[in-house]
Amino acid sequence: MTQWLTLSRAARLIGVPRGELQREIRDGRLAANDGMVSTTGLLSLYPQLNLEESGAFERVARLKEEAFGRRVFERTLPGREVLAQRLFAQSQELSDTRRHLSRYHELVVAMRQRIDDTADGAPETALRELRIFLENGLADVLATETADPIAIMDDMLKIVSAHVAVRPSGREFFVEGRDTLLQAGLKAGLSFNYGCGNGTCGLCKARVISGDVTKVAPHDYPLSEAERLQGHVLLCVHSAASSEIVLETLEAHGPRDIPDQQVAVRLRSVQPLAPDTLHLHLQTPRSTRLRFLAGQSVTLSAVAGGREAQATYAIASCPCDERNLHFHIRRNAGDAFSGLLFDGALAVGSTINLAGPVGDFILWEGERPLAFLACDTGFAPIKSLIEHAMAVDAAESLALGWLATHPDGHYLANQCRAWAEAFDQFHYVAQTADDPATGAARLVGELAAAWPLATCDVYIAGHEAFIAAAEAALQTAGVPAGQIHAEVA
């Protein structure tokens, strides 16, 4: 029997990006009805699909987790109570289906008896045809049919992961393992309003329109009786109990929706990416999170050995892991904060004061393919944007050009090659040049020769000279000025 699935769930089952299914629908190879696709259509489009052997989705998801610079996510079953609730809901659905089938069977049997009882007073030919029609129809219903593998897999997924739709934005995400609704939404790239993350501030309050949720942690924030009756819950301490949930909550759509924050963070590690580039890993307290948008920057300040330093850096990590913040720090004689790090004055465990976020170099919503241009450590905000774009499945295709003006400038080249290998629609170009302006023109030229830049939204980060030359080259290549976004980094 054909089932209809949302694009997000269908992409998850097949193991392809959501953008690929959108392209198949647009090209007429996959039929859609009100944003839904049928399991029959999916099997017709992917006849070679073997759900038991297909590991495409898991491979891409695993790569995303490793790429984001956080601990590899171990996919586990939900907690016992949540799992029991979902199994109970599935059992109820199965029981209802069986009851309906039984009633239909009784109706068919009664109709057949009625035909036999009235056979003497009716035209023999008409009754015989009706009897044959009924018998054939009943045989078809009771006959063993080939199971729909996508429908079977979907039923299994409903037990181990819940599908959540968010209103009014229309975004969707899945709740895996023991994640709360907030954690799952952030991992999927959604920009929920939140603060503490532990049930104290109440900023992540949302209304459950349909479906069931369950509290998985205690909270101190008191919901009023009116809020409880209206279905309000705290996303940070609730998880999905049913397989389908609809939430009503607001999301951040731009920098103005993100408040200024002051956070005392801990230095988790400092590791060399290259001789003159360090990877700085900071972690917020468990009771505090930094809410930011991909591509934004923060100001860091610290005192060590009688030296006080402050500097503003772009965050190189995705907002989906808001406790663990990553930065790429270049050795710079004019940057006192980088001096503290390269001199070893800041030890692991040191406290660093963070203020922000700032900047409007963010991923703006649109339907165009995405292209990114970076120069040296301008790769930091670009990396954050790319990881966010992957998390939210923002575009069907992505392209990256990275210019290095130093011998160790491509300090994460393996990461870029891994993206290109894992995603069919990801193109990577690397260039080196002593002069950022000359290198920018050559980088744009090489990328334009292999990628339709004129159809893309392009994001540029690096030296001022690099940005100016890249913008000129892009406009020469036919990219409208309104599709170019730049940030000096």
Q: Are residues 243 and 261 in the same domain?
A: no
Domain-embedded: residue 363: no
Distance CA 85, CA 90 (A): 9
Count of helix runs (H) and strand runs (E) in the chain: 14, 21
Q: Are residues 247 and 263 in the same domain?
A: no
Question: Shortest CA distance to 190 belongs to which of 160, 207, 219, 170?
Answer: 170
Q: Are residues 345 and 448 in the same domain?
A: no
Q: Where residue 481 sits, what CATH number does that domain have?
A: 3.40.50.80
Distance CA 314, CA 329 (A): 10
DSSP string, 403-466: EESSTT--TTHHHHHHHHHH-TTEEEEEEE-SSHHHHHHHHHHHHHHHS-GGGSEEEEEE-HHH
DSSP string, 241-291: -SSEEEEE--B--SGGGS--EEEEEEEEEEEEEETTEEEEEEE--TT----
Question: With contact defined as beta carbons under 8 Å apart, do 429 and 389 qualify?
Answer: no
Q: Are residues 48 and 158 in the same domain?
A: no
Q: Are strands 261-274 and 277-283 parallel, antiparallel or unpaired?
A: antiparallel
Q: Are residues 344 and 261 in the same domain?
A: yes
- Contacts of residue 298, defined as CB under 8 A and 6 or more positions apart, other chains included, come to 290, 292, 312, 313, 315, 325, 354, 355, 356, 357, 358
Q: Are residues 214 and 290 in the same domain?
A: no
Please provide residue 351's backbone torsions phi and psi, each rounded to the nearest 5 degrees: -95, 130
Q: Is 194 exposed, middle or buried (0-12, 13-18, 19+ CB in 10 A)?
A: buried
- Contacts of residue 107, defined as CB under 8 A and 6 or more positions apart, other chains included, come to none
Mean pLDDT of the chain: 82
**Could you tell me the residue range of the domain that residue 450 belongs to?**
370-488
Q: Are residues 246 and 140 in the same domain?
A: yes
Q: Where residue 331 sits, what CATH number does that domain have?
A: 2.40.30.10
Distance CA 106, CA 100 (A): 10
Whether pTM exceeds 0.85: no
Q: Are residues 105 and 243 in the same domain?
A: yes
Q: Are residues 224 and 85 in the same domain?
A: yes
pLDDT per residue rounded down to tens, the chain (489 residues): 566 777 777 776 776 777 778 778 877 888 887 667 887 788 788 776 554 444 444 444 444 444 444 433 334 556 666 666 666 666 666 666 666 666 666 767 777 776 666 665 556 666 677 777 777 776 666 555 555 565 655 666 666 678 899 998 888 888 877 789 998 888 887 888 887 778 888 888 999 999 989 888 888 888 888 888 999 999 989 998 888 899 999 888 788 888 899 999 999 999 999 999 999 999 998 878 888 999 999 999 999 988 999 999 999 998 887 789 999 999 999 999 999 999 999 999 999 999 999 999 998 877 788 999 999 999 999 999 999 888 877 777 899 999 999 988 999 999 999 898 878 789 999 999 999 999 999 999 999 998 899 999 999 999 999 999 999 999 999 999 999 999 998
Domain-embedded: residue 171: yes
Instruction: Dig out the tokens for 437 from the structure.
Output: 């302006």
Question: With contact defined as beta carbons under 8 Å apart, do 212 and 85 qualify?
Answer: yes
Distance CA 291, CA 82 (A): 28
Distance CA 323, CA 109 (A): 63
Other CB atoms within a 10 A radius of the CB of residue 200 amount to 16
Distance CA 255, CA 431 (A): 32
Question: With contact defined as beta carbons under 8 Å apart, do 461 and 470 qualify?
Answer: no
Q: Are residues 138 and 154 in the same domain?
A: yes
Bridge partners, 26 (sequence order): none
Instruction: Dig out the tokens for 77 from the structure.
Output: 């079953």
- Contacts of residue 254, defined as CB under 8 A and 6 or more positions apart, other chains included, come to 293, 360, 362
Other CB atoms within a 10 A radius of the CB of residue 267 amount to 19
> How many domains does one find in the chain?
4
Distance CA 122, CA 126 (A): 8
Q: What is the pLDDT of residues 300-321, one digit of tens each?
A: 999 998 899 999 999 999 888 7
End-to-end CA distance of the chain: 55
Domain-embedded: residue 364: no
Q: Are residues 111 and 86 in the same domain?
A: yes
Q: Are residues 265 and 408 in the same domain?
A: no
Angle, helix 56-67 to helix 413-422, in steps of 10 degrees: 160
Q: What is the pLDDT of residues 121-173, one digit of tens each?
A: 556 666 677 777 777 776 666 555 555 565 655 666 666 678 899 998 888 88
